[in-house]
Homo-oligomer: A and B are copies of this chain.
Amino acid sequence: MSYTSVTEALDALEKLQRTMAAYNHAMGVLYLDATTAAPKDTWEGRGQTMRILSQLVYDLLTAPDNGELLAFLEAHREDLTARQRRETEQVRKQYDQIHRIPAEEYVDYSVLLNDAQNVWQKAKNDDDFEAFAPYLQKIVDCNRRFAGYYNPDMAPYDALLNEYEEGLNTRTLDPFFAQLRRTVVPLLEKIRSAPQIDDSFLHRHYPAADQRVFSDYLMEVMGIDRSHCGIAETEHPYTTNFNNKDVRITTHYYEDNLVSSMFSVIHEGGHALYELGADDCYNYTALSGGVSMGIHESQSRFYENIIGRSEAFIHAIFPKVRELFPKQMEGVDETMFYRAVNKAQPSLIRTEADELTYTLHIMVRYEIEKQLIDGSLAVRDVPRRWKELYREYLGVEVPNDREGCLQDSHWSGGSIGYFPSYALGSAYGPQLLTKMEEDLGDIWTDVAGGDLSKVTLWLRDRIHRHASFYKPKALFEQVCGPFDPKYYTDYLTKKYTGLYGL
């Protein structure tokens, strides 16, 4: 059809976005079910359904009418509000991207991911990389091809990075990671010669049932509204949101590890606060939800590390820890607990890494992804390369693939180019903190009293409420000015120098 008025076109744009939101909701719930409640041998029927829903999304977005609609709105740009312009821009981006992907490839990919999710879980359990390799191969091939569809003018891996963080590329990431290594590696060396922190009590027996109560408590301290945010259990923790009134986080309980789930809950809780804090007006539009993975991780890792691993926060929650785990906490005081949750020690598992070595885990993945996409590394050599890089960057020996290259769900979920946003998000944090303290003065007295409301309100006002209205770089810069990783390296140096008396 041809449009005769802006109002008519905006109605069509709204309808398109609402419909897309509904399909995404349906697919999101299918994924949530698959990872939380579904019996293990049920992926086949879900694959059928995903195939049909993906086709629906594809058909919806690629309808010839949309090209006309977008062209009409772009031609009437001056009649649109800033929000309408940004919606048009976001839908245009999706339209252009998907338009370049042949329907069959698009649908096959969603089915592939449904299968891969299932195969990866089994392969991880069985420490059987061979079983997962053909799926990873297909996922890499698809991503390489999709990169060309997304942005034929960029190097393929840059095009993928750009999917998770607009504007990100290896040209900026290479020196960023190099600068981090220059800070982290010498710090780690000094720490190696300093007296070691005892964290053995964190590995006593912590029954899952008690950890569940602890999760509820942590969400309460974070001020998460449970009437709009649920928690479930999955192999790999994640956050998903259907709108700003319906957010779910997940965690995984290990009974020999108190802090794994504790910091998962705080991390995912940070994602959840971002989604819950978005203004209502963005619901059911292309601007709903966090704007990028980098900004998202800046929120989750802000809560996890800058708040969650602070002396003040540990002071606030330690009485509850002692109440819930009286036996396990025998002989442990607040300071010991604070030091233990901050122990820096090269290790195998990214999600359980301390704040200092975390980025080194990301660098391993970054190197491997770059090489997989540019073709210089074969899928079958991933386990070997993984081990090499862990030896080189972290100085640890990887005993198996279960605790090695099969540990993360990202690749089986189709996310290649996602990992670097964790490092970027981590690095955003200290710069946000500096700005927050300039604005609010002391925040730590409140945190030590278990009151995060000032912190969260500041973040909500500056970041959360805007959802995807601003582009990530612009959003960060309007809050903090240009990004400078020095805030992050200074923060790490100061924290770990103090902690270990270096």
Contacts and interface: CB of A to CB of B under 8 A. Distances in A.
A129 interface: no
12 contacts: A18-B52, A22-B48, A22-B49, A25-B30, A26-B29, A29-B30, A38-B230, A38-B246, A39-B226, A42-B228, A45-B284, A49-B242
Interface of A: 18-19, 21-23, 25-27, 29-30, 32-33, 36-42, 44-46, 48-49, 51-53, 56, 209, 226-230, 232, 242-243, 245-246, 248, 283-284
B37 A21 contact: no
Given A25-B46, A42-B245, 10 more contacts: A21-B48, A22-B53, A26-B49, A26-B53, A29-B33, A32-B33, A36-B37, A39-B246, A39-B248, A45-B243
Nearest to A22: B52
A55 to B, nearest CB: 9
B48 A18 contact: yes
A248 B37 contact: yes
B228 A39 contact: yes
Nearest to A246: B42
Copy total for this chain: 2
A43 to B, nearest CB: 9
> Which applies to chain A's interface (DSSP): helix, strand, loop or mixed?
helix
Given A209-B209, A246-B39, A284 B227 contact: no
A219 B406 CA distance: 33
A42 B242 CA distance: 9
Contacts of A53: 22, 26
A96 to B, nearest CB: 24
Given A25-B49, A29-B29, A52-B19, A245 B37 contact: no
A284 B48 contact: yes
A41 B284 contact: no
Contact of A37 (B19, B40, B226, B230): B230
A46 B227 contact: no
A498 to B, nearest CB: 40
Contacts of A209: 209
A439 to B, nearest CB: 31
Given A33-B29, A37-B36, A39-B229, A246 B22 contact: no
A36 B37 CA distance: 10
A243 B45 CA distance: 7
B49 A227 contact: no
Nearest to A52: B22
Contacts of A51: 22
Nearest to A227: B41
A381 B209 CA distance: 46
A209 to B, nearest CB: 7
B227 A45 contact: no
A45 B242 contact: yes
Contacts of A29: 26, 29-30, 33
A30 B21 CA distance: 14
A36 B248 CA distance: 13
Contacts of A19: 52
Contacts of A46: 25, 242, 246
- Name which of A52, A209, A283 has the most chain B CB atoms within 10 A of its CB: A52
Contacts of A25: 30, 45-46, 48-49
A229 B26 CA distance: 21
Given A18-B52, A48-B22, A53-B26, A41 B228 contact: yes
